[in-house]
Structures are given as structure tokens and as C-alpha cells.
Amino acid sequence: MSRTDLIADAFTIIRNATRANKEEAFIPYSNSLSKICEILKDNEYIANFKEAETKSFKQIKVYLSYDGKKSSITQIKRVSRPSRRIYKKKDDNLSVLGGYGLAIISTSSGIITGIQAKTKGLGGELIGMVW
């Protein structure tokens, strides 16, 4: 079975793993997912991640972060999909839940957070939101 939207699949895997209180989750590997995991780690939504080699393909092993029994990720949501792309201009408001969440944006200078895009004056495709 071919996957058409790896980012949506990865977000679903992470969301299901946090709801089941798993310590780790395996998501498919891609350069964009690796960068998204790096952003999630820098903002303390996940504990760590690393590349894992299986028999036939590469995966990313995501170590989930918990505060006691509560997950650091309340919700992770894919906004722009292959069938419906959502673009934001540099002047658009990119805050999530009044600053408590995180917007992930694909810009001309790579995948960055909404706050970084605002300070650099960049717009781009709104990939997803995390809170």
C-alpha cells in the first residue's frame, strides 16, 4: 500500500501513541519528518528521536515526552493536505491557542515554527499545529 501523505500518517501515529501512553513510536522516514521531529524536540513536545533501520526501509523512532502521566502533546493536527493546501502570508497571525501552541510552516528557507517565520518575515505552507 502506498502512502500519499506521510506527514498526516506520522501525526496520526504520534497522536495514537500519546493517547495509549506509549514510550515510543515509529514513523516513516523522510527529510521533512526529520525536520518536524527536530522542531518538536526543540520545543519539548517530544523527548528525543533517532533514525532506525529496519529490514526494508528507514524509520524514525520518536521518544514521547510525559509530565507525570500527562502527555506533552495534547493534540497534533495536520492543516494543509495534498487535496487542500493552506498558505499563510508573512503578515498573517500564526499563533496557536494564543501562543500556547506551535504552528509548523514550510517556507523557502525550510521547515520552521510560526514564531520563527514571523520574526524572519516569511510566509509559506501551514503544515500543522501542535498544542
What domains can you pick out in the chain, each with its CATH number?
A: 6-71 (3.30.1370.30), 79-130 (3.30.1490.10)
CA 42 to chain centre: 11
The neighbouring-strand residues paired with 19 are none
Q: 8 pLDDT exceeds 60?
A: yes
Q: Percent of the chain at pLDDT above 90?
A: 82
Could you tell me the pLDDT band of residue 2, with boundaries at 50, 70 and 90? low
SS3 26: strand
Q: What is the pLDDT of residue 73?
A: 94
Q: 1 pLDDT exceeds 80?
A: no
Share the mean pLDDT of the chain.
Answer: 93
Rounded CA gap, 38 and 50, in Å? 10
Residues 8 and 78 sit within 8 Å (Cβ to Cβ): yes
Q: 23 pLDDT exceeds 90?
A: yes
C-alpha grid cell for residue 56?
A: 526494508
SS3 81: strand
SS3 110: strand
Per DSSP, helices labelled H in 1-129 are 6-19, 31-42, 114-120
pLDDT digits (tens, 9 = 90+) for 84-129: 999 999 888 888 888 899 999 999 999 999 999 999 999 999 999 9
**pLDDT: which is higher, 38 or 3:** 38
What are the backbone angles phi and psi of residue 91, rounded to the nearest 5°?
A: -90, -5
What are the backbone angles phi and psi of residue 72, rounded to the nearest 5°?
A: -70, -25
